[in-house]
Amino acid sequence: MKKQLLTVAATAGILFTSFNGSASAHDKLHTVQSGDSLWKLSNIYNVAVNDIQKWNNLSSSTIYVNQKLSVLAPHSHSTDASTAVSTSGSTYVVKTGDTLWGISKSYGMSISGLKALNGLKSDVIYPGQKLNVSGAAATTATTATTAPASSSSTYTVRSGDNLSTIAARHNLSLSQLMSINNLKSHLIFPGQVLKLSGSTSTTIATNVSTASTPVMATYGSTTKVNSLVAESKKYIGVPYVWAGSTPAGFDCSGYLNYVYSKVGISIPRTVSSIWDATKPVSSPRVGDLVFFETYKPGPSHAGIYLGDGKFIHAGSSRGVEISDMNNSYWKPRYLGARTTF
């Protein structure tokens, strides 16, 4: 039978292109389906078209149904390090667009190991920040660089600053920084002096919110968040099926992809590509995605945060269920939270 030829789509897509292909949640190969194009795959997996061509030795943009394509750079865990901009063999200078996941892959580390090495309590980083990429894990809450325009206990806000980056520079969670300064919103202004130490109204043990009533006012659409939560709970009890993406059976990312699509939000199909395609937040709010490092380094499992330290996910043992992020299994494996809102 003649191979069905496909060409690159002429029109541009968006980052969260919906995906119904056959790639599994944790696979590095994509089996081409009818309607696929290199452009579509580049958006799904957050990679460049020319990279997919290079990794698969393609001389043109033509692909065909049932063709298996690599969507991850060969040996990327070790070769990406050659492109890193660093000041020495043991430090790395963060660039615009970097993530802890990408940096950890470049240096063959886990995200949790990189965070421990630099005393990071969240996955928020900023351009110009220096990260240790070798050595012993930090034993005190210090960072590799000190924030400009600050003293040991205060920081003067500059143009372009935001609370998340200020908190990350000083090894604080966003909620801690807001509590220390008695801030009720994320609004700050140049010249404002923020306290970096002092007593807070609530002791924060982790980056997971433990508020009994989740605050959703910071989202542009509370209705969509509520719809997402309601939709996610419809499938409690659906069994876990490897590579499953329907109510007959879900794997972790198949469940997320299905639920988000039901409320009009398209996300990639695999956990790692969802991580790369979403925006980091210092602590999760209802409707955000929470990520965990389970069977391999980096984000390998994810769920939807429900508030009060709980999240809903498709677990490999009991299928779709609600779990406590602070229990003995999930707490040490927590990597961070990201949002689509």
| Residue 157 φ/ψ, nearest 5 degrees | -65, 135
Q: Which of 26, 30, 170, 313 is catalytic?
A: 313
**Residue 274 per-residue DSSP state:** H
- Is 252 among the catalytic positions? yes
Contacts of range 113-119, beta carbons closer than 8 Å, 24 or more positions apart:
113/137, 113/297, 118/143, 118/144, 119/143, 119/171
Element containing residue 246 per DSSP (H, E): strand 245-246
Sort 217 into a burial class: Cβ within 10 Å, 0-12 / 13-18 / 19+.
Answer: exposed
> In angstroms, what CA-CA distances link 314 with 120, 251, 291, 304?
28, 6, 13, 10
CB 338 within 8 A of CB 299: no
H helices present in 59-199, as ranges: 76-79, 100-106, 111-118, 163-169, 174-180
- What Å distances lie between residue 263 and 170, 258, 267, 301, CA to CA? 37, 9, 11, 21
Q: How far is CA 274 from CA 16, 31, 201, 220, 234, in A?
A: 9, 19, 34, 21, 22
Catalytic residue IDs: 252, 301, 313
